[in-house]
Amino acid sequence: MLGQLEFLAGLVLLGLTLALSSTILFRGAQQLPPGPPPKTISGNIHQMPRVAPWTTFAEWSKQYGSAIIHYRFFGRHFIVLNSVEAALALLEHRSNIYSDRPVVWMYNELAGRGMTVFSVSSQHPHHKIYRRLLQSGLNPRAVQGYQGILERELHILLEGLLNTPENYVKHLRRNAGAVVLDLAYGWPVTSDDDYFVSLMEEAFALHKQVVQPGRWLVEVMPFLRFVPSWMPGAHFKRFAFSVRARMKAIDQEPLKWTKEQMASGNAKDSFTSQHLQPQDGHYVDNNEERMIAWCSSALYAGGADTTVSIMLSFIALMIQYPDVQKKAQNEIDSVLDDHRLPNLDDQSSLPYVSALFKEILRYSPAARLGLPHRVIQEDTYNGYRIPQSSTVMANIWAICRDPSVYTNPDIFDPNRFLTRNEMDPRKLAFGFGRRVCPGAGFAETSVILNIANILACFNILKPVDVNTGAEYCPEISYTTGVTSHPSPFQCRIVPRPRSSVHLHGV
């Protein structure tokens, strides 16, 4: 045992030596982008914010006078892009070298998630296959075929908001989960406590723990992944292995259910069933089935949580901006008669509602730092050196609050996309280059349909203080993570006087 510990200590010392050597070498090379002064060995770990890092990165950009900033964890380099010019120049126009993903040792390797759609290397042949499969199921023509799913689940959402408006978060999560599970697997969600929805929520929770920034030493000292799991101090490895087993089981359950439905002849048409029985009749081998399974799970991971974030931000913003809510309702009322709800065909007749959707994306982007990219070769930008294998992030929140891009960016105003023709935030919110979200069109369609119908049927109002009876505006804060959500807040969702016909029979 003593010899093993001495070996481990030697590895740690070697890692620190390499980190120090790389730091000294970099001093003589072309200048890195500016950033907070690092410690010699550990870099900037001690300065990293645990809450709302996007605001800290924006402040560093102002402090150091640069649109791009740099920080370091031991020998790992991180580049944050705080301007739209930098984000588009690198992630969009140089996407051939900026579309890879950084290795997250706990998640990719130890927990076995390196082949997921969001983690797979852009250099791996599966990346192109994943994108082709997803685009086939999420292109505009395919989205039109999902109208029945969207409208059915919309009616259930409206019924939930009518009967138990205080549970609006639960209703929105059920709606997002039900739509994606039906689309991906043909699974019908029949209750607010649906089994598959609960499985997916468990997967989100596990993912959040495994990728939590700064929690795992193996991320900065990757050689620790070779430490035997039984050794003292190797709890991280035992935890990763438990996550690997549980996530694999979660992935398999809906796939297994769809295959059983197909075998019995009772399968609904879905993304999974279509690709397991391709129209050209070719045999789907185990490798192709695994790729289909990864894409099916990506539909949920990439769609449900993001949709919930956007819808919760919508509720929060309607409380804070009742004049915007009223203007959107007036537009909806002018387009509809008294006997129907908005449908997909109405979107072109509701420009203010579409602008409202864009302004939600700008004001409260779901992925405030986007998903991290990795540059596969050394590069330069504006005279700064960007080392090979650097993790590169676009600070989407900062870009969306940049006064050189958006007039009065701290004001929530959908009119900016109608009268001032400002930059479309969809170019930022759904990713860049070869990593752009293939489900962006579907997300827009489903969210706008939900927003239009909720506003047609309900007023979203400030909560009332139980002691004074006066309305008050709750404080809205956002969680920190890959997807950022408004923290729980109180509100009132009240049927509109003219909505009795709309809600009748819902």
* Distance, CA of 331 to CA of 455 (rounded, Å): 10
The closest alpha carbon to 82, from 33, 153, 146, belongs to: 33
Cβ atoms within 10 A of the Cβ of 276, count? 19
* Distance, CA of 113 to CA of 124 (rounded, Å): 14
Spell out the residues 6+ positions from residue 190 whose beta carbon is closer than 8 angstroms to its own.
none
The two tokens of residue 210 are 């495994």
For residue 168, which amino acid is it?
A: Y
The closest alpha carbon to 395, from 46, 122, 34, 52, belongs to: 52
Give the helix/strand (H/E) hosting 248.
helix 235-264
* Distance, CA of 350 to CA of 73 (rounded, Å): 48
Dihedral sign, Cα of residue 16, residue 20, residue 25, residue 27: positive
Is 437 one of the annotated binding-site residues?
Answer: yes
CB of 416 closer than 8 Å to CB of 422 = yes
* Distance, CA of 349 to CA of 155 (rounded, Å): 21
The two tokens of residue 116 are 């997921």
Binding residue numbers for heme: 437
Binding residue numbers: 437
